[in-house]
Amino acid sequence: MSSGENTRAVHGPAFPVFPQVPLGLPVYRSAAFSFDSAQAYADTMNGDVPGYSYSRVDNPTSDTFAQAVAALEGVHVDGEVVGQPFASGMAAISTVLMTFTHAGAHVVAPREVYGGTWGLLARVLARFGVETTFADARDLDAVRAAVRPETTVLWGEVMANPTMTVSDLPGLAAIAREAGLVFAVDATFASPAVCRPLEHGVDVVVHSATKYLGGHSDATGGVAVGRPELLARVKHDRVELGGALAPDEAFLLHRGLATLPLRVDRACRSALAVATAVEGHPAVVKVQHPGLPSDPSHELAVKLFDEGRYGACVTITPRGGRAAGLALCDALSLVENATSLGGVRSKTSHAATSTHRQLDDAALHAAGIDPAAVRVSVGLEDPADLVEDLLRALDTL
C-alpha cells in the first residue's frame, strides 16, 4: 500500500524482532501496546491471555525488575515468589497498606517507623477511617496488646532509622499469624543481600528501590514482593492507584541489582570497620550498628542477617547535643551532607534536623533518638579513607 509523508512518518518500518536475546535489558519505552486482532485486545484486557496492554498496568522492563527482586528475596524460599514494581518506595508502601485495609480497619506499626509511612498512616489513611497504633516494636507484648479485633495489618521494618534497631521478625510473624493479620515489612535498610524477610514469616516485603537496590542515587522506584495470591491483590490496587514504575527507571534499578550482593557486602564490611573505629573515640557517646557486639540488636542481627552483613549504616552520637551533630556532619570532607542512603558515595544525615525534623527533643528522646545522632550511610570508598575522615572529624569536636 502506498502512503504519504505523514503516514510514513508515523508508521515507518516495523520494529525489528531479533532471534537473539539481548544482554542488556531492553527499555520498552512504550505507554501502549498493539494486538493482532480486536479479540486478542479483549482477551488480553480480560487477563484471559498473557500480554501487555498499557504500561500503567504492566511494562516488560518494569516487570522484569520486580521479578528480579522477587528472585533475590525468594532465593531460599520454597514455592513461587513474585514482585510488583512501583514508582517509588512510598508508592509501594501506600498501595500495600491500602490493599490490606479498609474504612474501619486498624494497623499496628512501629513507633519509629519511616517518616513517610508515619505521615501516610497518621495523616492520610486516618482521613479514610484507617486507624493506626504506633507501638514499641522491640516489645512483643506491647505489639500483641496493640492488636484489636479490627486490626488487619502488622507493619514492620527490618531495621529502624536512625537507631538501627533490628526487628524480631519471627516473633512479630507469630503475633500476625495468631491474629490472622497480613505482616508487611519495609526492608529498605537491609536489602535482600542482608536479610530476606520471607524466610522469617513475613507475608509482603516492600523496598524503596531508590536506596540499595538501585544503589547509585540516580533512579527512584519501589517494589513489593510476596506470594502470588497476596501480590495479585496488591497488583489490582496498584493499577487503580497508578503508581507505576517508569521503564527508564526500571532499567537503571535492574542494572543495579546485578552488583547488589557485591556492593552491599562491601558497604556492610566498611560500615562495621567505621563503627568499630569510632566507638572508643572520646567525642563519641554512642555508636549504633547491629554488627557491634555492644549493640542491643547484635544477637538478633546474627540470627536474622547474613554472615558479616549487618547493614551499611552507622549512627554516631557525638557529645554536645544537637550542635555537635551538625558540627560532625560539617567537619567531614569525604562523607557528604546528602539525603537518602544506599548509594556508592558515603553520606551523613543529622536525624534531628533532617529525617526526624518534625520531632522536638522530648519526642526524639521518647523515640530513642538522640538530638546529636548522625546517620552515616557507608558507600563504596576505601574503608581506610572513610575511617580517617570520621576520626579526623571527631577530633575537631
Ligand X SMILES: *Cc1c(COP(=O)(O)O)cnc(C)c1O
Least gap, CB of 211 to ligand X (angstroms) = 6
The one catalytic residue among 28, 58, 63, 114: 114
**Catalytic status, residue 48:** no
- Cα of 142 vs its chain's centroid, Å: 25
Cell of 117: 509511612
Please identify, using beta-carbon distances, which residue of 249 and 370 lies nearer to ligand X.
249
Burial class from Cβ neighbours inside 10 Å (0-12, 13-18, 19+) for residue 52 reads middle
Residue 353 DSSP code: G
Least gap, CB of 222 to ligand X (angstroms) = 5
**Catalytic status, residue 233:** no
Judge contact between 325 and 318, C-beta under 8 A. Answer: yes
Please identify, using beta-carbon distances, which residue of 243 and 383 lies nearer to ligand X.
243
The one catalytic residue among 63, 196, 203, 211: 211
**Catalytic status, residue 211:** yes
Please identify, using beta-carbon distances, which residue of 205 and 327 lies nearer to ligand X.
205
Least gap, CB of 138 to ligand X (angstroms) = 17
CA distance 126 to 131: 6
Least gap, CB of 208 to ligand X (angstroms) = 3
Query: Residue with the closest Cβ to ligand X?
Result: 89
The one catalytic residue among 41, 43, 52, 56: 56
Cell of 77: 524460599
CA distance 131 to 237: 20
Task: State the residues that interact with ligand X by CB under 6 A.
Answer: 88-90, 114, 116, 161, 186, 188-189, 208, 210-211, 220, 222
Please identify, using beta-carbon distances, which residue of 185 and 284 lies nearer to ligand X.
185
Least gap, CB of 296 to ligand X (angstroms) = 20
Please identify, using beta-carbon distances, which residue of 88 and 317 lies nearer to ligand X.
88
**Catalytic status, residue 56:** yes
**Minimal CA–CA distance to 157: which of 130, 116, 180, 186?**
186
The one catalytic residue among 186, 203, 295, 370: 186
Buried b (16+ CB within 10 A) or exposed e, 93-129: bbbbbbbbbeeebbbbbbbbbbebbbebbeeebeeee
List the catalytic residues. 56, 114, 186, 211
